Structure 1
């Protein structure tokens, strides 16, 4: 009897060891990025030794939204439960509802795989802790959502595609939508709990982001194509250590920014193609009182070796920048001739924002015709908000240390337009080897700028 028990114990130990060998945990890789400022290595997950979970084995069926959605969720849960795994989307088109990632999971799209996201708003309920234009709220879930996750990835040569049948009808901003904006603005301005900011109703029509990494870390988004988006396309929010590379992004709808790092740090965006209806990259850090409460700047943001086919700006900073933005490096990017773009670099804020902007470096940029100018800095940008709601608390934004080097365009209205405020001028703007072949108006249009240098 004793020998039998000993044999059972040895077999159990052996079985456990075998399981540990099969279910390898997620490893971590480190990426060193050379920048004009000090920047730590970025940590990203490495799933090379992890088990794969094919969604077909979990009951996924093409053209069956319900079964495929359940299969993806179940595969993610099992991969997470064993400490790390790869959820595989095989070749073919798979229609799905929202996808919620979990820690230590890689969502991998094989070549010729398409994840087609439903256009039905009810498929993105229940509401989740998200944001709308820099204000926290409960809204429709992003199409792909990660909340408080660690070691997550979306990879592969497949495509993520949003059906736009319903979302595109929400692009206009009629009065009921604007009234919901007023409501959220007041809830946030007076620091009402986020749980009270329930913005899913019949009239708000706050479109969800396509991909949101919310309060997460060690993130890799690599190789996939993205087509269409209800709102911002890729939104790292309050997240850390993010690598976005080798993407092909096409989203020409309303507010379709490419990447919006917000209150996030250590972000690398490289070797991507952006074809946007709005800014290619828009760096943000929250709006007004909400961001002052969270008190988290966006910093150490690098974009390099990217191509822009269309978009309002190559890089926009703000206008939601109340948490502060520092240490941004944009290097070796190209704007194709014929792209409809207003600026290469546009920094925008207003009297409600506070925050700060400093240490912005943009180098080695080539562009064709740009509608407005190479550099724009404006401190009174309010858009529809100017008459919609009042200024509840006035805080100006210090802006300093903006460096452009080796930048060229073929035609613009001006090279730079910089409008600071008399009580807080913009400081230290340096242009080196910045040129435009044909300037239609004035070269430099400036108000309230201290220490502008060009050579």
Structure 2
């Protein structure tokens, strides 16, 4: 009986012992497995985020002295008969003299002219407040230093303007209304002034002598502009219909743009235009725009080369577009260069293009090290466009300087209901559009992939469902070299998987394409009509 009790204790002890061992092993297995999964995701993300300094983009909300200057205490009246411009100016000046703090726009409707911010100022719109900007150009004088479509000048002041400021914010829960529809007729009126400015820039006329901001030299001001600023935050607001580009960080560094709702209808009213700026994060924003939602630029032709400042270290994530020309756009004013761009986890709906890199001969400049990852699109006409023959709508370049686009990755892109799946158009000259990769692409479109004038392209795991029609091909290639296709899905009802302009493949690798009867489903042609967009 004692022996049985001892055996029971022994077995119970052994069970507890082995139970502990199993729990310890399971714990370490789970820990290591979780760590491995985490490392795999981190490694994948690092591979995607080519040359991005993510540490520099871990922004926190800016902090300001615990001081409030309410514009009501400086004579602001809500009646609408009197502009609040002077009251806002006094509140900003007073707050800045005391070391900075929050300048409060209280609940109500406040009409105003130009607002100029200063360092350590947080212009804050309370809930149910509206800043309504005057449509009278005289309320945006005297002229200030700015950049108009990539060219430096002195022009009407942007509606909200900050120059050479540090630690400056614009935020809250209110609305900023620009009455952009009242500036619409300037789109045609300003064409001669744009050409005059371009000639000045081309001839290196000193910027101090490029004076605009008159009825004759009528160029629309941008809506909100930060020039040469450091540590900038714009958040929380609804911004409606300015006269020109909506939010324009220029020559600025460490810019955090988040949780905005931008709605515009007028010509050239892009949502966010990042211009020759560094370390910019745009996240959790909604866009319905009359032009591109987010655009990255760096100067136009000779003036862009003279200034020589690229846009770099830019992350755009968790944004959504509902209407507009393009969702995320690089160019065409990119003569100063664009590098190190990461766009991911975005939803694009009902825009003309999804991701577009546009430029033209004469721009020069470069776009390099850009990644577009985990993007979902619906009713976007052209999900991916890389076009080096973009038309010169306003001014024609006076040189033949070639732009250079390289090291671009598109990964995990899904699109439904499109016109052209992927459109790539460079030049017959080499080395202007190269080192482009497409991976894990799933699309439904009328037309497939068009490649004209590119080299060193790689396509892997591509599933594009196109309209079945006679003479239509999944992929059309012209004047392009060193192309690799792996795991390409070409449905059996598509007769022509690859159409090649010319009589040779020119270094096109189809060995791992995964397409059955590939030789029978390839067509060589001399007819250029298949390559017209």
Tell me if both proteins adopt one fold, taking TM over 0.5 as the criterion: yes
**Following the alignment from structure 1 to structure 2, what is the Cα–Cα distance between the partners of residues 169 and 179?**
14
Residue aligned with 1:195, SS: helix
Match of 2:442 among 417, 420, 435: 435
Match of 1:62 among 78, 92, 95: 78
Cα deviation, 1:234-293, whole Å, max 9, x if unaligned, reads 000010000000001101111010100000010000001001111011100001111111
Match of 2:452 among 438, 443, 447: 447
Determine whether 1:134 maps to 2:143.
no
Determine whether 1:422 maps to 2:428.
yes
**Following the alignment from structure 2 to structure 1, what is the Cα–Cα distance between the partners of residues 94 and 343?**
39
**Following the alignment from structure 2 to structure 1, what is the Cα–Cα distance between the partners of residues 278 and 346?**
21
Contact 1:44 1:219 in 2 (8 A): no
- Structure 1's unaligned 5+ residue stretches are 1-32
Match of 1:364 among 374, 386, 393: 374
Match of 1:379 among 388, 407, 418: 388
Determine whether 1:158 maps to 2:174.
yes
**Residue equivalent to 2:162:** 146
Determine whether 1:266 maps to 2:273.
no
**Residue equivalent to 2:359:** 349
Measure how far apart 1:392 and its partner are: 2.7
**Residue equivalent to 1:14:** none
Task: Map residues 93-108 of structure 1 onto 2, 5 A cutoff.
Answer: 93-108=109-124
- TM-score after normalising by structure 2: 0.75
Q: State the superposition RMSD in angstroms.
A: 1.7
**Following the alignment from structure 1 to structure 2, what is the Cα–Cα distance between the partners of residues 129 and 277?**
25
Measure how far apart 1:422 and its partner are: 1.8
Measure how far apart 1:45 and its partner are: 6.3
Contact 1:287 1:322 in 2 (8 A): yes
Structure with more contact order per residue of length (Cα contacts < 8 Å, sep ≥ 6): 1
Match of 2:51 among 37, 46, 51: 37
Residue aligned with 2:442, SS: strand
Counting matched residue pairs gives 411
**Following the alignment from structure 2 to structure 1, what is the Cα–Cα distance between the partners of residues 75 and 259?**
31
**Following the alignment from structure 1 to structure 2, what is the Cα–Cα distance between the partners of residues 141 and 197?**
14
Contact 1:45 1:218 in 2 (8 A): no
Task: Map residues 245-324 of structure 1 onto 2, 5 A cutoff.
Answer: 245-324=258-337
**Which shifted more, 260-269 or 38-47?**
38-47
- Structure 2's unaligned 5+ residue stretches are 1-44, 461-533
Residue aligned with 2:245, SS: coil
Contact 2:370 2:408 in 1 (8 A): yes
**Which shifted more, 373-382 or 140-149?**
373-382
Match of 2:210 among 191, 197, 203: 197
Residue aligned with 2:306, SS: helix
**Residue equivalent to 1:122:** 138
- TM-score after normalising by structure 1: 0.87
Contact 2:64 2:101 in 1 (8 A): no
Change (3 A) 1:411 1:128: same
Residue aligned with 2:184, SS: helix
**Following the alignment from structure 2 to structure 1, what is the Cα–Cα distance between the partners of residues 442 and 271?**
26
Change (3 A) 1:413 1:165: closer
Residue aligned with 1:330, SS: strand
**Following the alignment from structure 2 to structure 1, what is the Cα–Cα distance between the partners of residues 99 and 303?**
35
